[in-house]
Amino acid sequence: MFLSTPKEELQMKSMQYFEQALEEDQAPGHPKHLESMLGKAKVFEKQKKYDQALEALSEVAIQNQNFFPALLEKTKIHMVNGDWEQALESV
């Protein structure tokens, strides 16, 4: 609910929830929680922090190699940035 709001302070509240889920999910050799990582990337995207969104999505793509939505989200962010070469590479 907080993620869909245009108010940045509420978006940051959702970021706190994602961070908390990631901290609780930390175990050696255990991949990070997929939905929390995607949520963080979406918050960064809404705040126009595209480099941080790409970083989170890259981590998701590395940990979940057969999860294509992460690659699609990366492609979308590259397109928003006008980085067409990287968009094509992500596809």
Residue 52 is part of a domain; what is its CATH number?
A: 1.25.40.10
The whole-chain average pLDDT of the chain stands at 85
- Is residue 50's pLDDT more than 80? yes
Domain count across the chain: 1
At residue 84 the predicted structure's pLDDT band, cuts being 50, 70 and 90, is very high
16 Cα distance to chain centroid: 14
Q: Model confidence at 5, in pLDDT bands (50, 70, 90)?
A: low
Q: Flag whether 3 is in a domain.
A: no
Question: From CA 41, how far away is CA 11, in angstroms rounded?
Answer: 12
pTM of the model: 0.80
**Would 1 be classed as within a structural domain?**
no
pLDDT of 29 > 90? The answer is no
List the domain range (segments joined by +) for residue 55: 8-90
DSSP H or E stretch at residue 29: none
Specify if 41 maps to a domain.
yes
Q: How far apart are CA 79 and CA 57, in angstroms?
A: 15
80, part of any domain: yes
